[in-house]
Structure 1
Amino acid sequence: MNRQWQDLHSPDSRASLYLRAASKRKISGASLPTRGLRSMIRVQPDNLAAYRRLCHFPDDGRLPCSYPHVMAFNLQLQLLTAQDFPFPLLGLVHLHNRIDVVRPLGGIDALQFAVYADNLQAHAKGGTFDLVTEAEDGLGVLWRETSRMLVRGLKVDDQAPPNDEPEPDGLAQVTRWYADSDIGRRYAKVCGDYNPIHLSAASARLFGFPTAIAHGMWSTAMALAALRGHMPNSGYRIEVAFRKPVRLPSEVLLSASEAGPAGSLRLQGQGDLEHMVGRWAVL
């Protein structure tokens, strides 16, 4: 694809982007735009410190491997709420997330981000697309994220691909944590994701959820922080599939493989309810 790039001095304000998101409720097309967005984004030390406290990452001189997602969030919003983007932001479901840490994330003051949508596919419940985010320094790409998003009710002239997610086994308990009723609001305050399904039971019910649910990327970050001794510092890929949402409040249990260049993880709730499964491997 011949991608067209729009370079921004900075993304639009978050408030204006959410107003734009609220104004679009219907699917307006069935093809992805070829345009992508690029912008230089600086690390905000106070926000980084708040993210580390919220998700239990130590201050070890490196960015948490999930933090560039937070840095790029406004740029992602701007792409997903643009006039030429055919799907409404409200109602998108995050199914799967993959992060490649190509090189160490230390000594970073700013990164050049690029965001685009790709890989439209059929799904049993509609269609999916990949939201791709790349971060570069002076040497090239050092971090990449691919977020697979479900568009319910979208008609795609194709067959849905088979589900090839392996089921992890032989995992040992690593830790457990309690997701309290206000974690969605606290995560939103730090990371900017004010999706109503995460904020309160009342707002979640407007979108068909009986109670608020935890952000998938908060659960991912908590797992990554707990497993930082299991995975390499760089040159690896971590991918997770979101299964059943974590209803707030609730307690969850994280299990994982032994430390090594490759392994698996699982996040479970009461009654062995499976919230998230994942794996990591060297690139």
Structure 2
Amino acid sequence: MKKKTVLSFAILFSMALILLLVNSRNDEDESGTGLAAYRVVAHAMGSVNGHKYTNVFEAFVANYEEGTRLFETDLLITSDGRLVARHEWTKNMSKELGQLDVLPADKQGKALSYDDFMNTPILDIYSPMDWDTVLDLLQHYPDAYLVTDIKKSGGTFGKEFEMLVEATRERNPALLSRIIPQIYNRPMLEQLNRIYAFPHVIYTLYESQDTDEQVIGFAKETGVDITMPVSRANAGFVSRLKDAGVRVYVHTVNDMREIRRLDRLGVDGFYTDFVSENEVKTSGGLWQSLWRQ
């Protein structure tokens, strides 16, 4: 299985590089580069063949080819201390990723070792990624950005970002400018800045107990952007955040009608499993609101 997985990965990676070279001229000609040029954030690297939450190499490539340039990925630490792209270590997630018939019972619902993780394909054919592979993608796709989803569990938030920053600095420190951490409460920003002061940070509100006033004040003070569940994205809150100069994202939205409604409220971007950047660009005048920036 190991040889087969490695060979499959090598072939797919070579294909991706060829596609990059073919499209490089078009990429260079695109106007409005940078974060503000894009509306879609591919949740867990976006879907691949209708499957979500995979965080796999093939999902990145498939969604990049559809115009998406902002990618969110989940990051966890393996049982032996390696940083990998995985949403959660649960039996339910192993089931969703098609691994229950592959992993022994005693390895389900718990953190896998690095070797077990990397050598257990997702849904039989897709390639799991470690942080080095994610950096490969950032290096070879210079207009892509990565939003991190590192859950704070057992106080390990700092450890994971220390690993991330150290590995990225060793590869190419310039890549850090295209990594956008998510924080889950206000004190986390100070903890993050002690490790590395990223140029862009997103404060996600789905676990936050902060009032609208607290969120707006924090964003004004620190310059963080905001992402929130659809249920919290009302016209008044979004408008006040926009007046404060904040970029506003919502998650997770897979319906184009809902995206259009949120766009009319002034929302800048949308975490989504299934909608591509190209779809948003061509959706009934939606793209014209880019020029609010």
TM-score under structure 1 normalisation? 0.24
TM-score under structure 2 normalisation? 0.23
Structure number with higher helix proportion: 2
Structure number with higher strand proportion: 1
